[in-house]
Amino acid sequence: MRLINVRPRRGTAVLLACLPFVVLALAYLVGSAVRLAENPSDKLLPALSTIAQTVKLYAFTADRRTGLYLLWSDSAASLGRLLAGIGIATTLALLLGLLNGILPVVRAVLAPFVAVVSMVPPLALLPILFIVLGLGEVSKVTLIVIGVAPILIRDLALSAQALPREQIIKAETLSASTWLIAIRVVLPQVLPRLIDSLRLQIGPAFLFLIAAEAISADAGLGYRIFLVRRYLSMDVIFPYVAWITLLAVAMDLGLTALRRRIFPWSELERGR
């Protein structure tokens, strides 16, 4: 039997999926134990008990100065910026990507421009955004939009162009207008791809968000990480990084469930 045809059973697949996480956790525990045995004051790899105390302090104990629960207030600030940026980027991608994919005239105008913009490193624009838009929320949301929207637009346009030409011709023979073809023929078929593309952009979106918060913010997950780094507070940084990862994974799973719920036929096309 060829290796390419070997498919693990469901239980085996779950165990294999957990294996890298178990190895990583064991490596951390061993490394932490070794470092703390040599130096009980070591901050690089804090003990799990220390991390648990920090989580309790940040998540379940009100801050004495502000009265806020810092983990949740930082999460609310960051998620507000992230969802605003992703929402705007998705709306732009849906409009411009669809037009770019089905209208050759629009494609001739927009495709080169979008391609060039998508190659610009978004983080290189951060100082410009702060100078032009100020240090408030607008510049942070704009950075996410600039970083995510061009990729979504190009991917959606390519998906629209990849649809069989026969579908367009059949719709035209039934006297469908351009906009009816776009809405009834093209849009339903590219929306699952848009959701998948959005899933792939969650990580970059968090990257842009954290970079912006690290430079100018008074609340947020990225702000808190870069605030405590000067004190080498790894017992704060590790939980915050883990929390950001859990948020990203939850968003990914949510989008996957949404696609399967709204477009169940997309799973059949994948051969699952």
Quickly state the pLDDT bin for 1 (edges 50, 70, 90): low
**Segment 33-47, tens digit of pLDDT:** 999 999 998 889 999
Q: Residues near 17 by Cβ (< 8 Å), separated by ≥ 6?
A: none
**Segment 139-167, tens digit of pLDDT:** 999 999 999 999 999 999 999 999 888 98
- Transcribe 63-84 into DSSP letters: -TTT-S-HHHHHHHHHHHHHHH
**Is the pLDDT reported for residue 247 higher than 70?**
yes
Say which DSSP state 69 is in. Answer: -
In 3D space, the residue among 194, 208, 196, 187 whose CA is nearest the CA of residue 78 turns out to be 208
The rounded mean pLDDT for the chain is 91
Greater confidence (269 vs 3) lies with 3
The pLDDT assigned to 158 comes to: 93
* CA angle in degrees (0–180, nearest 5) for 239-240-242: 65
Classify domain 48-269 at the CATH superfamily level: MetI-like (1.10.3720.10)
Strand (E) or helix (H) holding 132: helix 126-133
Which residue type occupies 94? Answer: L
What's the pTM value of the predicted model, to 2 decimals?
A: 0.89
CA of residue 195 relative to chain centroid, distance: 11
What are the backbone angles phi and psi of residue 96, rounded to the nearest 5°? -70, -35
Exposed, middle or buried: residue 25 (CB in 10 Å: 0-12, 13-18, 19+)? exposed
**Segment 165-197, tens digit of pLDDT:** 898 888 988 888 888 999 989 999 999 999 999
Domain boundaries along the sequence of the chain: 3-38, 48-269
E strand spans, 5-123: none
